[in-house]
Amino acid sequence: MDYSSEVEQRFLSPSRAGEFEKGTPGLVSGEAADRTLNVWIRFQVQVLDGAIRTARFNVYGCPYTVAAADWAAEWLEGRPSAALEELAMFKRYKKLGVPVEKLGKLLLIEDAAAACWRGLESLERQKRS
Amino acid sequence: MVKKEIYLDYAATTPVDPAVIEVMTECLGSDGDSANPSSSHLPGRRAKARVEVARSQIAKRVGVPSETVWFTSGATESNNMALIGAMRANMHRGRHLITSVLEHKAVLDTAHALEAEGVEVTYVNHDPDGIVDPDQIAEAIRDDTVLVSIMHVNNETGVLQDIAAIGQRCHERGVLFHVDAAQSTGKIALKFEDWSVDLVSLTAHKTYGPMGIGAIYISKGVSLDPMIHGGEQEGGFRPGTLATHQIVGFGKAFELADPDSDGPLLSARRDRLWAGLNAIEGVSLNGHPAQRSPHVLNVTFPGVEGASLQLALANVAISAGSACNSDVPDPSHVLRGMGLSDVLAESTLRFSLGRFTTEAEIDYVVGRIQDEVPRLRTLASGAPAWTAS
């Protein structure tokens, strides 16, 4: 398999890989998986004052999935929390150098981010009630 | 000192030995023995003589008469010739073929093609270690069975089948027996007369010879319908202009092969590799732990996605599944047939060692894997149980 230099670099040194300590304020998690695609991904984001302060991920998957998750976590940081719903991997996969046949794996990254968003909305509702 | 790139994919192909390159070069160019070996003039007869020397070198390596060795383009073609040729030539005897679910695709796909022609194929199973029971073969043999085809060394796991026992059961019932021995030569001493075998597929490029040339052993008296028509070369079994340079290289490679020396050396290197990998938590060896070829190790790394481990070891040439299947997204049929889940099959790597593999390379690869497996498992921290089962 020929990987782009960005995919290789992000796979070998993913800057946003890992997890937060329990009790980190503003922490929201979301995950998605597809056994048939051999992918599992979990995002953890720290949301403070409506903005994503920091994003981290764990992933089981191929190098494309790892690299895309790292890129997505980097993209999310500093954006309003609504960005969790707006993550669009189909706009990015070509620039990352991911073959179109792998796009299905990358869409799970969107699902994991969307799960974070739902988690965040649930927390907001609990606070209001 | 460890090279920048380490090659541990000898089961896919081997580098051509310098001595082989030298003799091949002698058969190229206007100053060499490059004439058509079928031509009756002096240059043609010289080329022909070199072909026959090569044939005898190959025959000697496997302990058969020269006149029973016929050149093909490789083991895939030889497998096709054996199955299709034997079934078509013996239709008067029956239309039943027996093989195993773990064979190379060159046999399985040919068997499927024969099924489309009305041949009935029985795919015998195996035990969890990938061993086919010779008695199970015997039980599958019917009055209309023409041929049994079983590979000697599995290309993915290295598991060795008891060819002698299977051959004996075939011959007791008057059934032809074909063996794919593509992975065997140079690692295991072969003597076909010990096998009760009628047809054997051989190839050069897994024994430090060139790609694109192989052979089929056809025991005297066995009939095969040819698949290719157009000349009298190779006794009519496989017409077509003989590639002198490739054949000469093939012969030289087999002459140089020294399984009595290489076998134990490869076993030692393989065992060193396994000792290092086995120190990693949760890894498992696929295939019988003892009944195996010296040069192949097939290991599953639960909780680590295979393509990721391969890229993490980018400077180490290894296979995820067989070389033929590396670009195919489906999990290995061999591993699936041995009971591995799709996930574990995709977490599996095949290491295959060769004449030029050093201890330093083994130790380097072990060290890298001992670093990368924990790293990738940490990356997948919190993953569901199915990622490791």
Residue type, B178: H
- Residue A61 covered by a domain: yes
- Residue A129 covered by a domain: no
The count of domains in chain A is 1
Q: What is the DSSP code string of B207-257?
A: TTS-TT-EEEEE-TT-----S--S--GGGGTS-S---HHHHHHHHHHHHH-
The whole domain housing A24 covers 5-120
The two three-digit tokens of residue A66, written as one number: 């790892």
Query: Taking a C-beta distance cutoff of 8 angstroms, is the pair B241, B247 a contact?
Result: no
Nearest to B380 among A3, A11, A58 (CB): A58
Q: Which residue has the tokens 């782009």?
A: A4
From CA B156, how far away is CA B319, in angstroms rounded? 9
Q: Going residue by residue through chain B (389 aa), what tens digit of pLDDT does each one get? A: 566 899 999 999 999 999 999 999 999 988 889 999 999 999 999 999 999 999 999 999 999 999 999 999 999 999 999 999 999 999 999 999 999 999 999 999 999 999 999 999 999 999 999 999 999 999 999 999 999 999 999 999 999 999 999 999 999 999 999 999 999 999 999 999 889 999 999 999 999 999 999 999 999 999 999 999 988 888 888 989 999 999 999 999 999 999 999 999 999 999 999 999 999 999 999 999 999 999 999 999 999 999 999 999 999 999 985 444 455 567 888 998 899 998 999 999 999 999 999 999 999 999 999 999 999 999 999 999 999 99
Q: What is the ipTM of this complex?
A: 0.95
Residue-wise pLDDT for A83-113, tens only, equals 999 999 888 888 999 999 899 999 999 999 9
**Residue B385 at interface with chain A, using a CB cutoff of 8 Å:** no
What's the pTM?
0.92
Q: What is the DSSP code string of B102-134?
A: TS-HHHHHHHHHHHHTT-EEEEE---TTSPPPH
- Residue A75 covered by a domain: yes
pLDDT (0 to 100) of residue B324:
47
From CA B218, how far away is CA B197, in angstroms rounded? 9
Contact B314 A58 (CB under 8 A): no
* Helix (H) / strand (E) containing A119: helix A103-128
CA distance A59 to chain B (A): 5
Residue-wise pLDDT for A34-78, tens only, equals 998 999 999 999 999 999 999 999 999 999 999 999 999 999 999
**Residue A68 at interface with chain B, using a CB cutoff of 8 Å:** no
Q: What is the set of domains in chain B, with CATH numbers?
A: 6-14+258-388 (3.90.1150.10), 18-256 (3.40.640.10)
**Residue A88 at interface with chain B, using a CB cutoff of 8 Å:** no
Per DSSP (E only), the strands in chain B are 6-7, 69-72, 96-100, 120-124, 145-151, 176-180, 199-203, 214-218, 284-285, 296-300, 316-317, 348-352
CA distance B383 to chain A (A): 7
CATH number of the domain encompassing residue A13: 3.90.1010.10
From CA B317, how far away is CA B350, in angstroms rounded? 10
The two three-digit tokens of residue B52, written as one number: 């026959």
From CA B73, how far away is CA B18, in angstroms rounded? 21
Nearest to A59 among B342, B343, B379 (CB): B379
pLDDT (0 to 100) of residue B323:
47
**Residue B258 at interface with chain A, using a CB cutoff of 8 Å:** no
For chain A, the farthest-separated pair of C-alpha atoms sits apart, in whole angstroms, at 52
Give B-chain residues touching A62 at CB under 8 angstroms: 305, 307-308
Q: If you measure CA to CA, which chain B residue comes closest to A70?
A: B379
Contact B307 A63 (CB under 8 A): yes
Nearest to B346 among A11, A38, A40 (CB): A38
Which residues of B does the annotation mark as catalytic? Answer: 324
Contact B308 A3 (CB under 8 A): no
- Residue A127 covered by a domain: no
What percentage of chain A exceeds 70 in pLDDT?
A: 100
- Residue A125 covered by a domain: no
CA distance A56 to chain B (A): 11
From CA A60, how far away is CA A58, in angstroms rounded? 7
pLDDT (0 to 100) of residue B325:
45
- Residue A74 covered by a domain: yes
- Residue A128 covered by a domain: no
Q: How many CB pairs under 8 A join A and B?
A: 52
**Residue A59 at interface with chain B, using a CB cutoff of 8 Å:** yes
- Residue A28 covered by a domain: yes
